[in-house]
Structure 1
Amino acid sequence: MKILITGGAGYIGSHVVKMLLENSDYEVSVLDSLVTGFDSTIEELAKIRKFQFIKEDLSNWNKVEEIFKKEKFDAVIHFAASLIVPESVEKPLKYYLNNTANTANLVRIANESGVKKFIFSSTAAVYGEPKFDELRIDNGECKINEKFETKPINPYGQSKLFSEKIIQDAAKANSEFKYVIFRYFNVAGAAPDLSIGQKTKNATHLIKVASECAVGKRDGMYIFGTDYPTPDGTCIRDYIHVMDLADAHIKAVDYLDENESDIFNIGYGSGASVKEVVDTVKKVSGVDFKVETAPRRAGDPAMLIADSSKIKEKMKWQPKYDDLETICKTAYEWEKKL
């Protein structure tokens, strides 16, 4: 099988490529513009086994069409996108063009080229700001399932939701075209062998920021809001190790052999508070870095936890790294290596 990964030089995409190269006999192609992806990541992946790297931007529609005509892909795993929420508010058109328009064109070309399987990297941002009285309460935790209302509160989430609709409508019109859409919660960590990890500059992800503090790249960090209705007053989020996320994408390709298209939340179904994460990074690193408190940020819900029962039941997905210390340790060790 020939499989294309768009954005395969980026954080999550590269971990999927790594797993495919190590654990499958798929013929792997990576398409990446290297605007936010990294040459060095491609070089590291090439040490595993040979694969095709195509340096191209999805906005070059004619070139992408030529690639598909030549290569005859069986499946596409689509990561390539812009993903910084505050930037999406400042530059909404960038997000609608890069995320939605380019995805629409990619889906068109995939359909015209006979691609049978399309795996899409979406986000829990499509749910917007949850109304907690509508959420399922499980042992005191508010969990979001896939039936929850989609109501994005920023252009990033909206651009991804538009992309989801485009994929779904294309599949309705073409019975040969099937999809899996993954709505991510909070992704963190690095490959356990530390060959690849998150290289994003000016990162905003909590575990990455805390790890940068632990290795001395930052002087300190802030906790935004300590008066939330949670046990320690700080926000609670569902953190998933990037290798478990990558594993789900590969399972999704095989899943579509015997199953219909579907949408899955992907998280562990349990949460950790901001304070718990910071304390865990301090524990695994042995570094007591400076942490200050600051007022709440607008739009930060108190608790966001995935109801991941659907993917576990339907796809038989079983995470291997469901442990906050493991996630934080691999993130810290990767930061130390960088």
Structure 2
Amino acid sequence: MSKGSVLVTGGAGYIGSHAVLALLDAGWDVVVIDNLTTGFRWAVDPRASFVEAEIEDEARVQSVLREHQVRAIMHFAGSIIVPESVENPLKYYKNNTVASRALIASAVAAGVRHFIFSSTAATYGTPARVPVAESDPTQPINPYGMSKLMTEIMLGDVARAHPLNYCALRYFNVAGADPQGRTGQSTAGATHLIKVAVEAATGKRGHVGVFGTDFDTADGTGVRDYIHVSDLAAAHVEALDLLVARPEESHVMNCGYGHGYSVLEVLDAVDRVTNLPIERRLEGRRAGDPAALVADNSKILATLGWRPRHDDLEAIIRDALAWERNLAERR
């Protein structure tokens, strides 16, 4: 028996397509809205309904929400590349903030009661301490982080004014692919380290750039908390169950494992998994990159029934590598 219908924006993309799988597997009906700018129609599980549309199109979105009697929205649509946000901030405020405002307005107009937002650890900027907790200051150092923080603020204001509760999940570094090989990170020109590294390992790139070797970290390269995308998707389903069970509560929670790896440690792990050393090119820092971002994940562990099932760097790399090989055959 279905639990009801969930709208997933950006459901043809990397994280969204994994969330679609997790929702369907948990007994929810799913309708996906995606404009297919960076997503892929084939990445949407056939059990889900699909609508090609812009989330800013309030009339179209409200029609979909009413037609499918949507109970909740999971919002993944948006732009995600930090250096690009520094170069083109207006794109990020349009795609992430303005578009989210339109989607929230559609949710309120259609009477949707629950909203889960794909936020980011970039809302913290350069944290004063690591690991960083939800109660620590939010001081983004790039337009990407600011565009997401602005949406969190909007959701807080709307939740106080309307019968809608929300959960903003602040992702750390998402990596890996569905262990069953159903979907994975497929966008060309990706900047995520593990994706770039497995592209190099499969011959799609000649080298991996290491951006910054003078950070205040053990080996001078940036440290990040890498979370398997399937664990992240599971956290969304758990968060939805919480919002439904406690409609008077809203939440902001970190999604990470609580420990980090440097860029060089990740590349060493890729070398071990593939038994094939990847060429590394040491380059200068990228704009908007903090030295270290690691989650204090005590809140999500205490609040949800969620427990990581894939907290193993080499396992994350193996799943990413398997998907990369799958992509090579697909194309």
The TM-score normalised by the length of structure 2 is 0.94
CA shift digits 1:31-65 (9 cap, x unpaired): 111111102212xx11xxx3211111112222222
Residues 1:88 and 1:225: Cα distance change in structure 2 (over 3 Å): closer
In structure 1, the partner of 2:314 is 325
How far off its partner does 1:290 sit? 1.1
In structure 2, the partner of 1:163 is 151
CA distance in 2, matches of 1:330, 1:60: 36
How far off its partner does 1:110 sit? 0.8
CA contact (8 A) 1:73 1:115 kept: yes
Residues 1:88 and 1:298: Cα distance change in structure 2 (over 3 Å): closer
- 1:138-217 counterparts in 2 under 5 A? 142-174=130-162, 176-217=163-204
CA distance in 2, matches of 1:314, 1:266: 12
CA contact (8 A) 1:129 1:299 kept: no
Moved more, 67-76 or 7-16: 67-76
CA contact (8 A) 1:186 1:239 kept: yes
How far off its partner does 1:226 sit? 2.7
How far off its partner does 1:231 sit? 2.4
What residue identity is the alignment partner of 2:19? V
In structure 2, the partner of 1:30 is 32
In structure 1, which of residues 91, 95, 112 is the aligned counterpart of residue 109 of structure 2?
112
- Tell me whether 1:225 sits opposite 2:212 in the alignment: yes
Matched residues, number: 322
Residues 1:230 and 1:88: Cα distance change in structure 2 (over 3 Å): closer
- Tell me whether 1:3 sits opposite 2:29 in the alignment: no
CA distance in 2, matches of 1:263, 1:51: 27
In structure 2, the partner of 1:247 is 234
In structure 2, the partner of 1:312 is 301
Which 4+ runs in 1 deviate beyond 6 A?
A: none
The TM-score normalised by the length of structure 1 is 0.92
CA distance in 2, matches of 1:104, 1:229: 38
CA contact (8 A) 2:126 2:291 kept: no
Residues 1:293 and 1:93: Cα distance change in structure 2 (over 3 Å): closer
CA distance in 2, matches of 1:70, 1:227: 54
CA distance in 2, matches of 1:3, 1:203: 28
CA distance in 1, matches of 2:286, 2:48: 43
CA distance in 1, matches of 2:7, 2:288: 36
CA distance in 1, matches of 2:220, 2:68: 53
In structure 2, which of residues 12, 15, 20 is the aligned counterpart of residue 12 of structure 1?
15
**3-state secondary structure, aligned to 1:35:** coil
- Tell me whether 1:92 sits opposite 2:118 in the alignment: no
Once superposed, what is the RMSD of the aligned Cα atoms?
Answer: 1.4
**3-state secondary structure, aligned to 2:54:** coil
How far off its partner does 1:232 sit? 2.3
In structure 1, which of residues 118, 126, 145 is the aligned counterpart of residue 123 of structure 2?
126
In structure 2, which of residues 43, 62, 69 is the aligned counterpart of residue 65 of structure 1?
62
Residues 1:280 and 1:83: Cα distance change in structure 2 (over 3 Å): same
CA distance in 1, matches of 2:288, 2:37: 29
Moved more, 112-121 or 252-261: 252-261
Structure 1 residue runs without a partner (length 5+):
136-141
CA contact (8 A) 2:82 2:288 kept: no
Residues 1:39 and 1:258: Cα distance change in structure 2 (over 3 Å): closer
Identity among equivalent pairs (%)? 49
CA shift digits 1:106-161 (9 cap, x unpaired): 11111121111100001111111223xxx2xxxxxx21000111111222111111
How far off its partner does 1:289 sit? 1.9
- 1:42-81 counterparts in 2 under 5 A? 42=44, 45-46=45-46, 50-81=47-78
CA distance in 1, matches of 2:256, 2:192: 16
Residues 1:257 and 1:58: Cα distance change in structure 2 (over 3 Å): closer
CA contact (8 A) 1:282 1:289 kept: yes
Structure 2 residue runs without a partner (length 5+):
none
CA contact (8 A) 1:209 1:221 kept: yes
In structure 2, the partner of 1:258 is 245
CA distance in 2, matches of 1:225, 1:92: 23
**3-state secondary structure, aligned to 1:144:** coil
**3-state secondary structure, aligned to 1:167:** helix
- Tell me whether 1:238 sits opposite 2:225 in the alignment: yes
**3-state secondary structure, aligned to 1:150:** coil
